[in-house]
Structure 1
Amino acid sequence: MMNLNAQQQQQQQTAEAAPAKTGGNSGGTTQTGDPSVNISPSVSTTSHNKGRDSEISSLVTTKEGLLNTPPIEGTRDRTPQESQTHSQANLDTLQELEKIMTKKTATHLRYQFEEGLTVMSCKIFFTEHFDVFRKICDCQENFIQSLSRCVKWDSNGGKSGSGFLKTLDDRFIIKELSHAELEAFIKFAPSYFEYMAQAMFHDLPTTLAKVFGFYQIQVKSSISSSKSYKMDVIIMENLFYEKKTTRIFDLKGSMRNRHVEQTGKANEVLLDENMVEYIYESPIHVREYDKKLLRASVWNDTLFLAKMNVMDYSLVIGIDNEGYTLTVGIIDFIRTFTWDKKLESWVKEKGLVGGASVIKQPTVVTPRQYKKRFREAMERYILMVPDPWYREGN
């Protein structure tokens, strides 16, 4: 996620309470219809290896004060030799955290709970990787508390039909994965962690939304099969948590079937053709530094995703007209370019469906083509306004 200062700017989210079913768990109510409730105790139990968990916590705590540790009154300044030793210790800590984040091997854990005639299980994928990632992002405690309750959520713009939930405190989004997305993310995750480690430890500019967890939830009831279900979900940051937005756009860089009729509702999500209409009347300008940062981030992210054979991702832009800020982030970057997409792309390219004289470019292209189109579109949508220190050619 990235926040930019702008000369102009929206939001989405329609929530309704998820149905709750009561049971006797830990002195409270158990929403067995609420998948996040089954995740929350599993995450808090992942102090399965307390030695390893405390080691990670210690490393993360150390990392938080690495760069600008305030001086203690009455202490003398460090000698150059002591400063060098201190810097080396800090470097060693960062390297250890990065080493955990970029491990090639993964630990998957499964926890099982029983309540009456119902058996609930939760499989936690990439346990150590996500544990470190959440702690570095300082959201581990909030994460566990947030998952104790969620609500149904209408993402208001996607056509995938995927199920979405949102934690009641608005911090996290829970997305249900199809089987194809499940398989794709298992392969994609190690590279994702490596890439995010580059961003966190080496200041690589990125707009990729953060994924904080990956779970498989299963509920089996001996009373009724209709009460049994299995879900594969990922948990992502809510890009617009505590953000005021007057408009939200979901942008793919395509002009084919990328228009929605505006209803005037505060929560609607607009698409590429709506963006073109919007900037025709009210162009979006950002300062030189922000434009360069956004350009570098989009370039890095699209290069990474193309290498991973991923496409059909979106840049979500939230516009705050009052605060003159943009909140941006790339989402929907899980599904890879599979054989069915290749076939669809080939059919459309040859004009075998709908005739060969199609004016608008098809939405399904190769990852390389998608990357190029995406970069060019984002460059057009958000313009740079020169500041007093700007020089042409910089």
Structure 2
Amino acid sequence: MERNSIVKAIANILAERGVGNLLPLEYPLSPLEHVFPKSIIVVREDEPSTIVAAALSSDDYIGRLFEIREQYMMDNNTTEETNNEKLATGIDTSTSGITSSDLSIERTLRSKSGIHMKSYFTDGTTKFFCKIFFAEQFDALRRNCGCEESFIASLAQCAKWDSSGGKSGSTFLKTKDGRFLLKQISRYEMDAFSNFAPSYFQYMSEAFFHELPTVLCKIFGLYRVGYKNMTTGRSIRMDILVMENLFYDRCVQKIFDLKGSMRNRHVQVTGKENEVLLDENMVEYLFQSPLFLYSHSKQMLRESLHNDTLFLSRLDVMDYSLLVGIDEEKQELVVGIVDFIRTFTWDKKLESWVKDSGIFGGGGKEPTIISPRQYRIRFREAMDRYFLMVPDFWTTINI
């Protein structure tokens, strides 16, 4: 093996120089760790985020991304020259204070096409690969959110994150600094998000540059990663998305995953760290400690949920949740819509119809799977009930 050859070479040099009585040299990295030329990232087989970090820091990715940015800047300069000509003739071309950089990011997010990049690297024993989906759009989104500089450093280390209580059963990883979460998704979920990704990026551009209220949890990257170790025979292949950790740098005592349903939405409270409670647990909690919001906060939440659920319904997306964290230290609620990449496919339509009609034992009970429109209505109504408003001086009260 190459790493053993390096160690032997160093040992021979020390022996030639008369340095004796030394313990045998050991390679500083474990068999699961790998390093590559021109890369500062230590890639670990049991930490998929490190594969992404290595790919995003590679010269090939950086070079191609630079070319894309240069092209967008050239297009922006052409647009500005056209605008200057129109101004000279008295035509108003105001951009409401949007800078050239903002304009470049907005145009990138609104692009209907997406470039997917592939990165391959090997250290002689193990072959790694990473496919980067929608490279330029996710790069623009991260730059606008101010996390591009720290993104690679965060992904350089991760650990399995156990959020107990939730029902998704998904595998989650958290970066060691706690800024981002990585979720393994199915091939179906990967295809679903890839199909509506252009709409997602355009929606986020509306939120960033046109003050559209939203509480969608931001997705910062979509990747397909894998490796094969020729020595051990170990191999892996997975699709992962990287999203913001809503509770980063927060002191959150209680977490709720809310869908607006009371059917099988209760878990036994254990008091474990990162325990995720459900809708029925929320109702129980509200009897003891009602959650009151200021009128402007309630209005902002209502508008955000209206916008987000309408957007998701139009994409045939359902089964999303409002993740709520109670930060008792700051007396604040931290909220965000998560798990919004499941679309209403024909098999779910069939399941809903069978349960609703009572055929094959459905019994005419409320179906566990409902249409995106029904889900949207139920979701909005439930969230409006969960969070109460504190009237202020400007609140109109009808008597």
Which of the five TM-score ranges fits, normalised by the shorter chain?
Answer: 0.7 to 0.9
Q: 2:223 aligns with which of 196, 215, 221?
A: 215
Q: Does the C-alpha gap of structure 1 residues 283 and 144 become closer, same or farther in structure 2, counting only changes over 3 Å?
A: same
Instruction: Please show how residues 364-375 of structure 1 align to structure 2 within 5 Å.
Output: 364-375=369-380
1:175 corresponds in structure 2 to 183
Tell me how far apart the structure 1 counterparts of residues 337 and 95 of structure 2 sit (CA, whole Å).
35
Would you say 1:382 and 2:393 are equivalent positions?
A: no
Q: Does the C-alpha gap of structure 1 residues 365 and 111 become closer, same or farther in structure 2, counting only changes over 3 Å?
A: same
* Aligned residue type for 2:368: T
Q: State the SS of the aligned residue for 1:236.
A: strand
1:56 shift after superposition: 7.0
Instruction: Please show how residues 1-394 of structure 1 align to structure 2 within 5 Å.
Output: 21-25=32-36, 26=39, 29-45=42-58, 46-49=61-64, 50-53=66-69, 90-91=97-98, 93=100, 94-225=102-233, 227-352=234-359, 354-356=361-363, 358=365, 361-392=366-397
Tell me how far apart the structure 1 counterparts of residues 224 and 352 of structure 2 sit (CA, whole Å).
32
Q: State the SS of the aligned residue for 2:104.
A: helix
Percent identical among aligned pairs is: 49
Q: Does the C-alpha gap of structure 1 residues 177 and 151 become closer, same or farther in structure 2, counting only changes over 3 Å?
A: same
Q: State the SS of the aligned residue for 1:390.
A: coil
Tell me how far apart the structure 2 counterparts of residues 298 and 23 of structure 1 sit (CA, whole Å).
45
1:341 shift after superposition: 1.2
Tell me how far apart the structure 1 counterparts of residues 55 and 73 of structure 2 sit (CA, whole Å).
18
Q: State the SS of the aligned residue for 2:237.
A: strand
Q: State the SS of the aligned residue for 1:197.
A: helix
Tell me how far apart the structure 2 counterparts of residues 296 and 113 of structure 1 sit (CA, whole Å).
46
RMSD: 2.6
Deviations 1:207-243 (A, max 9, x none): 0000000001021233344x11111110000000001
Tell me how far apart the structure 2 counterparts of residues 20 and 253 of structure 1 sit (CA, whole Å).
47
Q: TM-score, normalised by structure 2?
A: 0.82
Q: Does the C-alpha gap of structure 1 residues 192 and 86 become closer, same or farther in structure 2, counting only changes over 3 Å?
A: closer
1:362 shift after superposition: 3.0
Unaligned runs of 5+ in 2: 1-29, 77-87
* Aligned residue type for 1:33: D
Q: Does the C-alpha gap of structure 1 residues 271 and 47 become closer, same or farther in structure 2, counting only changes over 3 Å?
A: same
* Aligned residue type for 1:373: R
Q: TM-score, normalised by structure 1?
A: 0.83
* Aligned residue type for 2:33: T
Deviations 1:242-293 (A, max 9, x none): 0111111000000000000101223211100001111122111101000000
* Aligned residue type for 1:234: L
Q: Is the contact between residue 218 and residue 243 of structure 2 (CA under 8 Å) also seen in structure 1?
A: yes
2:24 corresponds in structure 1 to none
1:335 shift after superposition: 1.1
Q: Which has the larger radius of gyration?
A: 2
Q: Does the C-alpha gap of structure 1 residues 237 and 57 become closer, same or farther in structure 2, counting only changes over 3 Å?
A: farther
